[in-house]
Structure 1
Amino acid sequence: RLLRPGDRVDVVATGDGGAGDASVLARGVRVAKVPEPVEDPSAGGALVVVSVPRATAHRLVGAATTARLAVTLC
């Protein structure tokens, strides 16, 4: 597994427009958990639980409604 609890990641939002636009929503946040997939792992992305302040969590949830979120290792 590439990610482990305790790793630090940046959370990036990418638009659906295909223009290549991306913005960093959170930098250097700690991975709390990477649960095992319950369905076919080839069907989509993995769940990554990160530990962030409440305001950052609200920003991430809001962005996830209109953008695709990804993490990059720091």
Structure 2
Amino acid sequence: MVKPPPAAVRMVSAPVRIADAETVRLLRPGDRVDVVAAERAQPPRVLAAGARVAEVPAPEKGVGDGGALVVLSVPRDTARALVGAGATARLAVTLC
């Protein structure tokens, strides 16, 4: 019996604030990154692996150490995890 192909994963655009603004300046649309959450009481954990950078907005004027925004193309469930973690943890990226 032939199995039907898996349902296509719906990708969404997820704006994510990365703690280190200078790291974000290294990114370009099309790059692939892993997003890592760092919390004081927990070991670092990977929230998104191989996420595609969709956009790197221009730096915000007047924002001090508030990090920088990057827009990632990820599955909807991953987007929810990123938003939730961004509220409680510092997020970082590594280039794949």
* Interval containing the TM-score (normalised by the shorter chain): 0.7 to 0.9
Larger of the two Rg values belongs to structure: 2
- Identity, in percent, stands at 68
> How many Å separate the matches in 2 of 1:58 and 1:20?
20
The TM-score with structure 2 as length reference comes to 0.67
The correspondence for 1:48, drawn from 61, 70, 82, is 70
Unaligned runs of 5+ in 2: 1-24
> How many Å apart are 1:41 and its aligned residue?
6.2
1:2-31 CA deviation, whole Å, 9 max, x = no partner?
10000000000000x2x6721001100100
Runs in 1 of length 4+ with deviation above 6 angstroms?
A: none
Unaligned runs of 5+ in 1: none
Kindly tell me the number of residue pairs found equivalent between the two proteins.
Answer: 72
1:36-69 CA deviation, whole Å, 9 max, x = no partner?
1122465332111100011100011111111111
Over the aligned positions, Cα root-mean-square deviation in angstroms equals 1.7
